C-alpha cells in the first residue's frame, strides 16, 4: 500500500538523514520512478522534505526535522515489535515491514527491537486444547527474553511436583491459547507450559542464547518431537465419507484419508500415543467405524466393548 511506503520513506530519511530515490526503491522493493513519485507526494502534502540535486544529493527532512512516526522510546519500540514479531513469522508483508522499520529505528533501539520481534511465536494449530486465557506471567517472561536475563522458575509438572529451576529464557510460543516458554537449562533445551509456572523471578545474570538461534525453527523441532510421541500408534479405519471431517477434527493432524471404497466408505489413517488411546477415541463411534488394523487397537476396542456390555447389559 502507498501509505505504508510513505511512512517507510519518512522513517528512512529520519534515520539516515538523506536518501536517494534509488536507495528508497531498493528498500521498498519498488521502481526508482515509484520511489521518486512517493518522495514528491510527501513534499506536495506539506511534509518538510526537499531534494538536493547533484553528486551526493538526495532527499532530506528540512533542518533535520523529525516525525512522530518513529519518535519511539525504547519501551515503546519493544512493545511494537512484540506485537508485530509473531505476525512476521507467517506473513511475508509483515516480515518486510518489520525489516524496514528496524533499519529506520535509532541505532540504540535496534538490538532490543530485534530481540522483541523474535521473542514470541504464534502457532495456531490445535493440540486439542483451547479456550484458555493469556497467563499473567507472559509479559514478565517476554521482558526477560528481550533483556536476556536469567529467570528463576517455580514449576509444577504433570504429577503436580513442584521444582525450582534457573533457566535462560529464549522465547515464548502461543499455541492455540496455550503458552510455552523455550529455555536453556543445564540439561539443554526445555519447554515449559507457562500456566504451570507458579512464579518467575528475573535475576541479574545474563542469559545465554545459542548462536544463530531462531525461535520459529526451535519451536518446529519441539513440535516434531511432540507429534512423534503423539503418533506412535497408527490405525486404519473405514468410515462413511460424511463423517470424515468430524473424525479429522477429533484427531487433528493425525488423520489422513487414503482412499474411497465402492460402498461409499473412506479409508482413513488415524494416530494416538498408544493402542488404548486410539481405541478410546474410536469407541464412541460404535459400529459407525470399522478398525481394519492393527490387531492391538481391535483388541482394545473388544475389551472396552466387553466391559461396557458387562456394566450396562
In this structure, the answer to whether residues 98 and 139 fall within a common structural domain is no
In this structure, the answer to whether residues 212 and 254 fall within a common structural domain is no
For residue 17, give the DSSP letter: S
Of 69, 88, 104, the residue at which a domain comes to its end is 69
Q: Which of the four pLDDT bands, split at 50, 70 and 90, describes residue 280?
A: very high
Greatest CA separation for the chain: 96
- DSSP bridge partners of 2: none
CATH number of 18's domain: 1.10.10.10
Give 77-87 pLDDT, tens digit per residue: 555 555 555 65
Q: Which of the four pLDDT bands, split at 50, 70 and 90, describes residue 113?
A: low
Of 228, 248, 278, the residue at which a domain comes to its end is 228
Residue 59 sits at the vertex; the CA angle it makes with 57 and 64, to the nearest 5 degrees, is 105
Tell how far CA 103 is from the center of its chain: 23
Contacts of 296 (CB under 8 A, 6+ apart): 233, 275
Residue % of the chain over a pLDDT of 90: 35
For residue 63, give the DSSP letter: G
In this structure, the answer to whether residues 146 and 96 fall within a common structural domain is no
**In this predicted structure, what is the pLDDT of residue 208?**
92
Domain count, the chain: 4
Of 69, 85, 101, the residue at which a domain comes to its end is 69
Round the average pLDDT of the chain to a whole number and report it.
Answer: 80
In this structure, the answer to whether residues 204 and 182 fall within a common structural domain is yes
In this structure, the answer to whether residues 99 and 132 fall within a common structural domain is no
The rounded distance, in Å, linking the Cα atoms of 20 and 154 is 54
In this structure, the answer to whether residues 161 and 186 fall within a common structural domain is yes
Q: What is the mean pLDDT of residues 162-166?
A: 93
Give 217-262 pLDDT, tens digit per residue: 898 898 888 878 778 899 999 999 999 999 988 888 889 999 999 8
In this structure, the answer to whether residues 146 and 219 fall within a common structural domain is yes
In this structure, the answer to whether residues 86 and 141 fall within a common structural domain is no
- DSSP H helices, 128-177, are 137-147
Strand order in the sheet with 58-61: 18-19, 58-61, 49-52
Q: What is the mean pLDDT of residues 31-46?
A: 80
**In this predicted structure, what is the pLDDT of residue 151?**
96
In this structure, the answer to whether residues 112 and 96 fall within a common structural domain is yes
Contacts of 223 (CB under 8 A, 6+ apart): 123
In this structure, the answer to whether residues 89 and 65 fall within a common structural domain is no
CATH number of 280's domain: 3.30.70
For residue 80, give the DSSP letter: H
Q: Which of 152, 153, 145 is nearest to 208 (CA)?
A: 145
CATH number of 208's domain: 2.30.30.520
In this structure, the answer to whether residues 144 and 214 fall within a common structural domain is yes
In this structure, the answer to whether residues 187 and 130 fall within a common structural domain is yes
Which residues constitute the domain of residue 253? 231-312
Amino acid at each position: 500500500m502507498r501509505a505504508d511506503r510513505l511512512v517507510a520513506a519518512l522513517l528512512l530519511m529520519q534515520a539516515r538523514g538523506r536518501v536517494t530515490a534509488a536507495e528508497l526503491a531498493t528498500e521498498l522493493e519498488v521502481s526508482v520512478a515509484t520511489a521518486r513519485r512517493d518522495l514528491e507526494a510527501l513534499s506536495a502534502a506539506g511534509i518538510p522534505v526537499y531534494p538536493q540535486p547533484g553528486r551526493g544529493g538526495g532527499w532530506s527532512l528540512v533542518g533535520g526535522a523529525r516525525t512522530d512516526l518513529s519518535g519511539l522510546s525504547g519501551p515503546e519500540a519493544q512493545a511494537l515489535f512484540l506485537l508485530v514479531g509473531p505476525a512476521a513469522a507467517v506473513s511475508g508483508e509483515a516480515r518486510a515491514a518489520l525489516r524496514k522499520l528496524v533499519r529506520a529505528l535509532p541505532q540504540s533501539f535496534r538490538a532490543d527491537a530485534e530481540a522483541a520481534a523474535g521473542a514470541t511465536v504464534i502457532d495456531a494449530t490445535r493440540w486439542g486444547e483451547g479456550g484458555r486465557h493469556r497467563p499473567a506471567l507472559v509479559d514478565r517472561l517476554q521482558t526477560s527474553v528481550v533483556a536476556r536475563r536469567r529467570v528463576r522458575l517455580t514449576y509444577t509438572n504433570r504429577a503436580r511436583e513442584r521444582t525450582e529451576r534457573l533457566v535462560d529464557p529464549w522465547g515464548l510460543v502461543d499455541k492455540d491459547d496455550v503458552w510455552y516458554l523455550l529455555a536453556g537449562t543445564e540439561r539443554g533445551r526445555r519447554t515449559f507450559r507457562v500456566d504451570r509456572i507458579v512464579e518467575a523471578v528475573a535475576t541479574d545474570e545474563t542469559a545465554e542464547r545459542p548462536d544463530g538461534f531462531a525461535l520459529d525453527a526451535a519451536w518446529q523441532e519441539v513440535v516434531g518431537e511432540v507429534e512423534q510421541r503423539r503418533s506412535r500408534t497408527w490405525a486404519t479405519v473405514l468410515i462413511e465419507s460424511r463423517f470424515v471431517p468430524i473424525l479429522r477434527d477429533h484427531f487433528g493432524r493425525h488423520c489422513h484419508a487414503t482412499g474411497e471404497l465402492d460402498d461409499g466408505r473412506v479409508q482413513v489413517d488415524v494416530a494416538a500415543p498408544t493402542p488404548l488411546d486410539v481405541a478410546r477415541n474410536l469407541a464412541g463411534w460404535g459400529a459407525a467405524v470399522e478398525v481394519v488394523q492393527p490387531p492391538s487397537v481391535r483388541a482394545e476396542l473388544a475389551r472396552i466393548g466387553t466391559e461396557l456390555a458387562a456394566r450396562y447389559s
